[in-house]
């Protein structure tokens, strides 16, 4: 990268900070008026930065802004709607020109608009522009596009410093390996000395015959040999202690480096969505419409891949809000709305999930037009009754549109279909709903991917679960007598000192995860619980015990055993143990629905009752997450479980007869030997011809099911529709 590219890369960061700060100040917030002194200084700094990198068009626009802001601060000009629009146009042109996307002519409208609002004062005091009347004159320099995002990434300074510190800690810890190497060298030398001592004790008196004669061993020789052995033992013990300390230091340093590297892998939402406001204002100008747009939560760190998948769908959603929410100005005035259409994008993490909400204060969904379009496209049966929720779900169908004509914004029926497809690809959900008193809300809810979150670890039975710590309002120790039964459901009355009490539902974690026979756990008359809050609602989650709070990497939920309403992801605990992440919204919804009737308080361990004889089940799956989850389900049901990583590993273990196996649960897609091959091999051997085998896989096509059963599998379960009760029932029938 040459010096100019370096300067442009630095300018790309600086101008973005100034432009964003000016926009935020103009938008206002918390009832505070804009700080015109700061806004003026930012325009002045922007002008100087543009001059430093030789971008005269941006310098000219910044000079006009500087003059306008000075007049507004002094009270000689007003910040009305027309002035605000002129400022936003100028900032848009700066952004476009800085990225190499606008010519000089395309900045003239911004300069003219600012001159109109400023009365030409800035133009009279501005530097003379470069003239290009003569053929020999050089054209003013145009900005070069800044380096691609893959080459230049904006990250927090503290994150870089933390990674640097973690790297230095790792280097220091690795330095301890030299001490271990020195210790090994000492032990090796001592061992050689002892070997030579043994040779001397043997002696060599063969003389000319060459025969070796043993030498008489004295007590002094024995003491010397014993001293050497003791020294060797001490060195070995000391080396083992040093090695253990070094290993612990390296493990800790590696963990910190990994954590900080993962932190850098997350990028602010702004890197993907930062240009949406400008793009939407350009669309509105082209259509002759007036809008106010607000983007919130752009500083939230999110996985880069997720943002790339969502970039186009979110822009489609914003375009849809502009197209379908726009109303004539007189219509908005009659309804008491502001003259400009308000559109917002909010990005937030709530309840362990990523939520993106696009809202507008426009006309709202036209249910009659949606129903008419749906019937024309045969999406509704003749005479089929509909409600608003059913109709609003239809707008995500490919090709669906209520626009009477095709224009630059709508009419092709691809916008919301693109949104739905992308969200479902990421394992999320999307919902369109009317807003009160007017407008539309489009909400996208997605599982978090590759994000580190603070998690509260809780236990239910033999399993550990994670709950986002931000949703844990309080940790509770309730007296058994305080948990009451109201209309067949358990509730508890809670309240802070001096405040009125609130009656909250109590739901047992065991019921949520589908364990039959689970009841509210009580130990010595005490119920341990967590007061969970999400979306303004609360409930008490009763658990067996509380563990600790850790910052953990949240991965997507597993393909099986995960209710999408209840499970938001997976985290990996020590020793590569996966743990499900509970969705606080899902927990509260299940509590509100009354997920389980009141049960007796219990003190003993609960679980699905297994057969009287403890059967052994072999679980075969190449995914550590899947086989660990299956192992947890089966062990909680009372079975003994052994695991193998693929079909060949399972076949070798069965042939070795390490333990008697009563049933096999196997995946289909595995390396070396897949599930189909495992079934075929087992049925070919007399010892395993009648061994029950259940295939459980994501391959649910009819031909795959038929093939598995034809090869001799006793049952074929699909992970997409996995229900642990179905698995336990199937095992019970086969055993």
In whole angstroms, give the CA distance from residue 466 to residue 619: 24
- Supply the pLDDT for residue 735: 82
Q: Assess whether pLDDT exceeds 50 at residue 497.
A: no
Measured in residues, the chain has a length of 735
Same domain, 429 and 500: no
Same domain, 559 and 637: no
Phi first, then psi, for residue 597 (nearest 5°) are -70, 165
Same domain, 475 and 430: no
Pairing of strands 429-434, 440-447: antiparallel
Condensed to tens digits (0 to 9), the pLDDT of residues 439-482 reads 999 999 887 654 567 789 998 877 889 998 878 888 888 888 88
The total number of structural domains that make up the chain: 5
Q: Assess whether pLDDT exceeds 80 at residue 133.
A: no
Residue 321 lies inside a defined structural domain of this protein: yes
Same domain, 437 and 456: no
CATH number for position 75? 1.20.120.160
| Mean pLDDT confidence for 672-701 | 88
Q: Assess whether pLDDT exceeds 90 at residue 70.
A: no
Condensed to tens digits (0 to 9), the pLDDT of residues 611-626 reads 445 789 999 988 776 7
- Supply the pLDDT for residue 385: 67
Confidence tier at 1 by pLDDT (50, 70, 90): very low
Residue 608 lies inside a defined structural domain of this protein: no
- Supply the pLDDT for residue 620: 92
In whole angstroms, give the CA distance from residue 16 to residue 729: 60
Residue 226 lies inside a defined structural domain of this protein: yes
Q: Which of 225, 244, 267 is the last residue of a domain?
A: 267
In whole angstroms, give the CA distance from residue 394 to residue 376: 13
Q: Cβ(458)–Cβ(546) under 8 Å?
A: yes
- Supply the pLDDT for residue 415: 57
- Supply the pLDDT for residue 572: 81
- Supply the pLDDT for residue 666: 92
- Supply the pLDDT for residue 630: 80
Take residue 595 and report the two structure tokens written for it: 């997920």
Sequence-ordered alpha helix ranges (H) in 442-579:
509-512
- Supply the pLDDT for residue 48: 76
Same domain, 294 and 352: yes
Phi first, then psi, for residue 303 (nearest 5°) are -55, 135
Q: Assess whether pLDDT exceeds 70 at residue 700.
A: no
Take residue 266 and report the two structure tokens written for it: 């997350």
Same domain, 303 and 360: yes
Q: Assess whether pLDDT exceeds 70 at residue 57.
A: yes
Q: How many CB atoms lie within 10 A of CB 646?
A: 21
- Supply the pLDDT for residue 508: 87
Condensed to tens digits (0 to 9), the pLDDT of residues 250-265 reads 877 877 786 677 666 6
- Supply the pLDDT for residue 145: 45
Confidence tier at 564 by pLDDT (50, 70, 90): low
> What is the pTM for the complete model shown?
0.47
Same domain, 586 and 659: no
Q: Cβ(87)–Cβ(26) under 8 Å?
A: yes
Same domain, 439 and 455: no
Helices (H) and strands (E) in the chain, counts: 22, 23
Higher-confidence position of 594 and 120: 594
Same domain, 343 and 275: yes
Residue 599 lies inside a defined structural domain of this protein: no
Q: Cβ(354)–Cβ(448) under 8 Å?
A: yes
CATH number for position 655? 3.40.50.2300
Which whole-number Å values give the CA distances from 191 to 195, 218, 230, 243, 450, in the listed order? 6, 21, 11, 19, 50
Q: Cβ(456)–Cβ(469) under 8 Å?
A: yes
Q: Which of 125, 148, 167 is the last residue of a domain?
A: 125
CATH number for position 559? 2.40.50.180
Question: What's the whole-number average pLDDT of the chain?
Answer: 77
Higher-confidence position of 132 and 559: 559
In whole angstroms, give the CA distance from residue 638 to residue 731: 12
Judged by DSSP in three states, 510 sits in: helix
Condensed to tens digits (0 to 9), the pLDDT of residues 503-535 reads 788 888 887 776 654 556 667 788 889 998 876
What are the E-state strand segments in 583-702?
616-620, 640-644, 663-666, 693-697
CATH number for position 343? 3.30.565.10
Same domain, 533 and 442: no
Residue 348 lies inside a defined structural domain of this protein: yes
Same domain, 287 and 434: yes
Same domain, 427 and 459: no
Look up the domain containing 584 and give its range: 451-593
- Supply the pLDDT for residue 27: 77
Residue 145 lies inside a defined structural domain of this protein: no
Q: Which of 239, 267, 295 is the last residue of a domain?
A: 267
Take residue 43 and report the two structure tokens written for it: 């325009």
Residue 138 lies inside a defined structural domain of this protein: no
């Amino acid at each position: 990268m040459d010096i100019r590219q370096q300067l442009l890369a630095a300018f790309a960061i600086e101008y973005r900070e100034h432009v964003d700060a000016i926009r935020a100040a103009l938008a206002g917030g918390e009832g505070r008026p804009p700080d015109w002194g700061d806004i003026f200084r930012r325009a002045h700094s922007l002008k100087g930065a543009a001059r430093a990198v030789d971008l005269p068009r941006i310098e000219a626009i910044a000079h006009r802004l500087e003059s306008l802001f000075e007049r507004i601060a002094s009270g000689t000009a007003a910040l009305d709607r027309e002035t605000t629009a002129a400022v936003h146009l100028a900032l848009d042109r700066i952004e476009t020109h800085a990225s190499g996307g606008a010519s000089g002519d395309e900045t003239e409208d911004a300069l003219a608009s600012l001159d109109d609002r400023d009365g030409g004062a800035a133009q009279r005091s501005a530097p003379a522009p470069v003239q290009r009347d003569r053929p020999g004159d050089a054209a003013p320099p145009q900005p070069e596009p800044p380096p691609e995002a893959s080459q230049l990434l904006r990250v927090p300074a503290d994150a870089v410093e933390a990674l640097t510190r973690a790297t230095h800690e790792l280097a220091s810890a690795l330095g301890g390996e030299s001490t271990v190497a020195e210790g090994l060298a000492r032990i090796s030398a001592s061992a050689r000395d002892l070997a030579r001592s043994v040779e001397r004790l043997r002696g060599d008196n063969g003389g000319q015959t060459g025969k070796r004669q043993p030498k008489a061993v004295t007590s002094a020789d024995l003491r010397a040999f014993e001293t050497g052995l003791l020294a060797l033992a001490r060195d070995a013990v000391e080396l083992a202690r040093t090695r253990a300390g070094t290993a612990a230091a390296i493990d800790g340093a590696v963990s910190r480096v990994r954590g900080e590297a993962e932190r850098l892998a997350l990028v602010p939402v702004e890197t993907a969505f930062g240009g949406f406001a400008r793009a939407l204002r350009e669309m509105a100008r082209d259509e002759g419409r007036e809008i106010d747009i607000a983007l919130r939560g752009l500083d939230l760190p999110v996985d880069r891949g997720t943002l790339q998948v969502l970039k186009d769908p979110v822009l489609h959603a914003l375009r849809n809000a502009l197209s379908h929410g726009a109303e004539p100005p007189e219509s908005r005035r009659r309804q008491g709305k502001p003259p400009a259409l308000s559109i917002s994008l909010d990005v937030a993490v709530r309840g362990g999930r990523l939520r993106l909400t696009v809202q507008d204060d426009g006309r709202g969904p036209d249910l009659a037009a949606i129903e008419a379009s749906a019937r024309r496209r045969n999406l509704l049966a003749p005479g089929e009754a509909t409600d608003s929720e059913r109709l609003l779900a239809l707008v995500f169908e490919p090709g669906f549109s209520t626009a009477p004509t095709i224009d630059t914004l709508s009419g092709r029926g691809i916008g919301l279909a693109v949104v739905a497809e992308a969200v479902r690809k990421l394992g999320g959900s999307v919902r369109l709903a009317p807003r009160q008193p007017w407008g539309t809300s489009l909400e996208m809810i997605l599982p978090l991917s590759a994000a580190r979150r603070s998690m509260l670890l809780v236990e239910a039975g033999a399993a550990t679960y994670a709950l986002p710590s931000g949703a844990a309002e309080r940790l509770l120790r309730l007296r058994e007598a305080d948990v009451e039964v109201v209309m067949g459901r358990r509730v508890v009355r809670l309240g802070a000192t001096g405040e009125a009490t609130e009656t909250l539902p109590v739901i047992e974690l065991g019921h949520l995860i589908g364990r039959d026979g689970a009841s509210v756990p009580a130990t010595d008359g005490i119920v341990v619980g967590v007061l969970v809050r999400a979306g303004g609602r609360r409930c008490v989650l009763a658990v067996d015990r509380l563990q600790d709070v850790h910052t953990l990497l949240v991965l997507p939920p597993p393909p099986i055993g995960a209710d999408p309403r209840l499970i938001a992801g997976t985290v990996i605990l020590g020793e590569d143990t996966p743990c499900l992440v509970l969705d606080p919204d899902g927990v509260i919804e299940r509590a509100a629905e009354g997920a389980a009737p009141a049960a007796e308080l219990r003190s003993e361990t609960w679980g699905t009752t297994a057969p009287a004889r403890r059967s052994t089940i072999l679980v075969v799956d190449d995914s550590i997450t899947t086989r660990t989850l299956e192992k947890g389900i089966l062990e909680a049901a009372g079975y003994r479980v052994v695991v193998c990583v693929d079909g060949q590993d399972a076949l070798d273990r069965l042939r070795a007869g390490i333990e008697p196996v009563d049933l096999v649960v196997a995946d289909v897609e595995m390396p070396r030997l897949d599930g189909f091959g495992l079934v075929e091999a087992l049925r070919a051997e007399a010892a395993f011809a009648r061994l029950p085998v259940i295939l459980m896989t994501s391959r649910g096509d009819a031909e795959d099911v038929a093939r598995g059963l034809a090869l001799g599998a006793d049952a074929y379960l699909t992970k997409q529709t996995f229900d642990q009760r179905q698995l336990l029932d199937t095992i019970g029938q086969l055993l």
